[in-house]
Structure 1
Amino acid sequence: MLGAAGTVLAAPAFAQADWPNRAIRLVVPFAPGGSSDVLARLIQPGLGAALGQSVVVENRSGAGSMLGTEYVARSPSDGYTLLLADLPYAIVPALQARMPYDVEKDLVPVVMVGVAPLLIFGHPSLPARNAAEFAALARAQPGHYTYGSGGVGAASHMMGELFQAATGTQLTHVPYRGGGPAIQDLAAGNLNTVFVTVASAAPQLSSGQITGLGVMAAERMPSHPDIPTFREQGIDLIAEHWWGLLAPARTPEAIIQKIAAAMPGVLAATGMAQRLDALAVIPRSDGPEAFGQRIRQDLARYGEIARTRGITAQ
């Protein structure tokens, strides 16, 4: 009897030691072509090589990233299904009265992949050279100036709300079905501003169709040193978009640590720095504890901004 029990108890430990012995699914909760999908496919070969098994990227979009996230939350806790989450992971719960999963209980942080500073972009016709001048204009004419976003609750929407709270301004929010159309309308002169990453606006920025008014980072971006930080302009606001891997709750710690230990090498591989730089993404391989702290901080931050400004999903 004791021998049989010993065999049963040893089975999970053996499974962990043998992990991985088959392909790993990396779920992207967005449609192909977006920043999360691009990053997933950038790290896919290196992560597979480091873990000794193939990594298969699987797009499961829908419900503002909740469909794919719920799928991973309900998957077996065996390390074979991972989620590439990004900033909306911490925003969505602030907007939903009911969630199909618990972001703090049903999934666990594994390792970060990267971060990207968020910026405010303006149309060249805007009579402001930077974010501080734009804030002064907006304070003088409440509700007159617009900002576009990828939809209610999108990161670009919440950045606009953070900006208004930090500057005492009142802007008119114009939601779109995705960040791409918002940037296109900004370039066409149908909007005054948009809050997104450089990766989302690179073609329009390089062509001069839009201008960078400020970056929500502690330091200027090496790729765009001419764009001043918000703090340089007297606006106390720092915000980053982030990406990272999460796993279903109760995934064995040994598996989590193995994945986390592999990520620094994946991000340091030959040619990776140039590819990430092209997306204005800064590699960051913070482990479970630091990544979890970032998620908790953003859950609190965006929960507060949603409550104080009355933002809910529509």
Structure 2
Amino acid sequence: MTIKLTRRALAAAFSAVPFAARAQANWPTRPLRMIVPFAPGGGSDTLGRLLATPLAAELGQPVVVENRAGAGSQIGAEAVMRSPPDGLTLLLGDTPLATIPAVQAATGQPVAFDTGRDFTPIATLGVAPALLVVASNSPFRTTRDLLEAARARPEAVNVASGGTATSTHLMIELLQMRSGVKVTHVPYRGTGAALPDVLNGTVQAMIQAMATAAPLVAAGQMRVIGVAAEQRLASMPDVPTLREQGVDLVAGFWWGVLGPAGIPAPIVERLQQAIDKSMATEAVQARLPALGLQRLQLGPDAFRTMLVNETARWREVVTTAGIKPE
């Protein structure tokens, strides 16, 4: 069948391309939403609000932070996934974007989302290495001390997490795999709920991010006995890495900005540039150490690769450890 286009139809078809280009060049023309998939007041919320101010200045439109907590960040992530791919709805994503689908896939549950397929990675913000912490009056001065105690009395050492199948739980399982030592995992409803029992000695240790641990360390209530990083932290030069203590483990928490799948490339580029400039502002840089973040600057392609690799890594841990979500 032959299709004949009128002169008017042809003109309309050709004019649509420059119109779309002009529309993207003028983007954004409306305020943006940045969904933080956690309750107000936490580290992710603080980072999202810190970023929103300079990002609004860069884009020339307000950036409204909206908290959508629930299901370990899954509710907020799904809200963004279902949004129009116009670049106006963003997700302040972090480590659970890799651990949630990893746990669901490995345990035969319906997978809520495929992070690499259902989102548009835009830019990473920062990383924070995992810290192995104990109460300040704990007899364990180093990671070796804790592991030797667990080796002498298998499963007698309790290590807390923020809940079964959470990122901190997976890191505990990875610590056991890499050290060959068995501890007893004690899940709580959030890492904040675990802190009192760590401080009073009910549980002997936990894995934590710098943002939560730093105030307690500064107050003399908590001690860091190991850092899951490539090298020692400048803020804690006396604390050896886990590798220095015989455990080949590098792991931590990351944060980045994503949108729903299908955002046009020019808008992604505009967002990435605006985010990178915002993160480089003096106001943001001054706050990163207090949040325990080290700047990690990856663009969309490298960010997508990181997501795929992280999800595969945690899926292997879940499968090997036989983790079953509650």
Which TM-score band applies after superposition, normalised by the shorter structure? Answer: over 0.9
Query: What residue in structure 2 maps to residue 115 of structure 1?
Result: 127
Residue by residue over 1:124-172, the C-alpha shift from the partner in whole angstroms, topping out at 9 and shown as x without a partner, is 4433211122112111211101111111122211111111111011111
Cα-Cα RMSD: 1.3
Residue by residue over 1:66-86, the C-alpha shift from the partner in whole angstroms, topping out at 9 and shown as x without a partner, is 111011111001100011100
Quick one: distance in 2 between partners of 1:53 and 1:124? 47
Query: What residue in structure 2 maps to residue 240 of structure 1?
Result: 252
Residue by residue over 1:260-288, the C-alpha shift from the partner in whole angstroms, topping out at 9 and shown as x without a partner, is 11222212212322211111111222111
Query: What residue in structure 2 maps to residue 34 of structure 1?
Result: 42
Query: What residue in structure 2 maps to residue 276 of structure 1?
Result: 288
Secondary structure in structure 1 of the residue aligned to 2:115? coil
Quick one: distance in 1 between partners of 2:137 and 2:154? 19
Query: Residue 312 of structure 1: CA displacement?
Result: 2.6
1:14 is the counterpart of 2:25: no
Secondary structure in structure 2 of the residue aligned to 1:212? strand
Q: Is the 8 A contact 1:263 1:285 kept in 2?
A: no
Quick one: distance in 2 between partners of 1:174 and 1:287? 37
Query: What residue in structure 2 maps to residue 179 of structure 1?
Result: 191
Find the structure with the greater CA-based Rg.
2
The letter for the 2-side match of 1:179 is: T
The letter for the 1-side match of 2:149 is: L
The letter for the 1-side match of 2:174 is: L
The letter for the 2-side match of 1:26 is: M
1:302 is the counterpart of 2:314: yes
- Aligned counterpart for 2:216 among listed residues 197, 204, 210: 204
Query: Residue 238 of structure 1: CA displacement?
Result: 0.5
- List structure 1 runs of 4+ shifted beyond 4 angstroms: none
The letter for the 2-side match of 1:311 is: I
Query: What residue in structure 2 maps to residue 228 of structure 1?
Result: 240
The letter for the 1-side match of 2:184 is: T
Quick one: distance in 2 between partners of 1:196 and 1:167? 18
Identity across the alignment (%): 43
Query: What residue in structure 1 maps to residue 206 of structure 2?
Result: 194
1:287 is the counterpart of 2:295: no
Query: Residue 8 of structure 1: CA displacement?
Result: 3.5
Comparing 8-17 with 72-81, greater Cα deviation is found at 8-17
1:149 is the counterpart of 2:146: no
Q: Is the 8 A contact 1:123 1:191 kept in 2?
A: no
Secondary structure in structure 1 of the residue aligned to 2:254? strand
Comparing 48-57 with 125-134, greater Cα deviation is found at 125-134
Which structure 2 residues correspond to residues 72-87 of structure 1 after superposition, within 5 A?
Answer: 72-87=80-95
TM-score scaled by length of structure 2 = 0.93
Residue by residue over 1:45-92, the C-alpha shift from the partner in whole angstroms, topping out at 9 and shown as x without a partner, is 111111111111111111111111011111001100011100111001
The letter for the 2-side match of 1:25 is: R
Query: Residue 254 of structure 1: CA displacement?
Result: 0.8
Secondary structure in structure 2 of the residue aligned to 1:271? helix
Query: What residue in structure 2 maps to residue 100 of structure 1?
Result: 112
Query: What residue in structure 2 maps to residue 47 of structure 1?
Result: 55
Quick one: distance in 1 between partners of 2:215 and 2:113? 37
Quick one: distance in 2 between partners of 1:159 and 1:64? 16
TM-score scaled by length of structure 1 = 0.96
Q: Is the 8 A contact 1:116 1:197 kept in 2?
A: yes
Quick one: distance in 2 between partners of 1:180 and 1:215? 20
Query: Residue 208 of structure 1: CA displacement?
Result: 2.0
Secondary structure in structure 2 of the residue aligned to 1:105? helix
Q: Is the 8 A contact 2:138 2:201 kept in 1?
A: no
1:23 is the counterpart of 2:28: no
Secondary structure in structure 1 of the residue aligned to 2:221? coil
Residue by residue over 1:235-275, the C-alpha shift from the partner in whole angstroms, topping out at 9 and shown as x without a partner, is 11101210000111110011111111122221221232221
The letter for the 2-side match of 1:263 is: I
Q: Is the 8 A contact 2:36 2:66 kept in 1?
A: yes
Quick one: distance in 2 between partners of 1:271 and 1:8? 41
Comparing 21-30 with 263-272, greater Cα deviation is found at 263-272
Quick one: distance in 2 between partners of 1:46 and 1:183? 33
Quick one: distance in 2 between partners of 1:130 and 1:262? 42
The letter for the 2-side match of 1:127 is: P
Q: Is the 8 A contact 1:121 1:213 kept in 2?
A: yes
Q: Is the 8 A contact 1:223 1:280 kept in 2?
A: no
Quick one: distance in 1 between partners of 2:75 and 2:289? 30
Quick one: distance in 1 between partners of 2:241 and 2:165? 24
Q: Is the 8 A contact 2:115 2:307 kept in 1?
A: no
